[in-house]
Structure 1
Amino acid sequence: MALDPQTMIDRYLEAELAVLDGKEITFNGRKQVMADLPQIRAGRLEWERRLVSQQRAFAGGRPGYSLAVFD
C-alpha cells in the first residue's frame, strides 16, 4: 500500500506537537521524546517535499514559480 503524503505529514505534525508538549509518544514503532524533535521535523519536511513533487506531477510538471517576460 502506497503511503499518502498528506497523511504522513499530518502524523508527523501530531508527533511534533506531542513532543513539544512534553509528551512521550510512540511513532513508527519507536519511543519519541524531545531529543527526537530534529528527526521528527526532518521526516515531516521530507514528506512535504514529496507532496509538492506529487502536486507538480499532477499539474503537468510545471515549476512552482512563474517566469516573467520583459519586452
Structure 2
Amino acid sequence: MWLEAERAVSTGQSYRIGTHSLTRASLSDIAKRIEYWRNEIAKLESGMGGRMRSFRVTPVDF
C-alpha cells in the first residue's frame, strides 16, 4: 500500500475537482514508512525478528 501511495503522490500531491479536494501524504513520510517496512521484512527474513522460530517435527509411531 505504501508503494502504491508513493506512486500516487508522484503523479500529484493534491488536486481539486469542483468543490472536492484531495491532498495526499508527503512523499518524505511515505518514504520513511516504506523504509521501516523494508527493514522489518529484512529482520524477519534474517531470523532476527524476535522470538518467532519455526521447527520441523516428524511424527513417529512407536
Name the TM-score class by shorter chain: 0.5 to 0.7
Computing the radius of gyration from Cα coordinates, the structure with the larger value is: 2
CA RMSD of aligned residues (A): 2.0
- Where does residue 12 of structure 2 map in the other structure? 22
What TM-score do the two structures reach when normalised by structure 2? Answer: 0.56
Moved over 4 A (4+): none
Give the helix-richer structure, 1 or 2. Answer: 1
Give the strand-richer structure, 1 or 2. Answer: 2
What TM-score do the two structures reach when normalised by structure 1? Answer: 0.50
Q: List alignment gaps of at least 5 residues for structure 1.
A: 1-10, 25-30, 59-71
Identity across the alignment (%): 25
Q: List alignment gaps of at least 5 residues for structure 2.
A: 15-22, 49-62
Question: For 1:39 and 1:23, how far apart are their aligned partners in 2?
Answer: 13
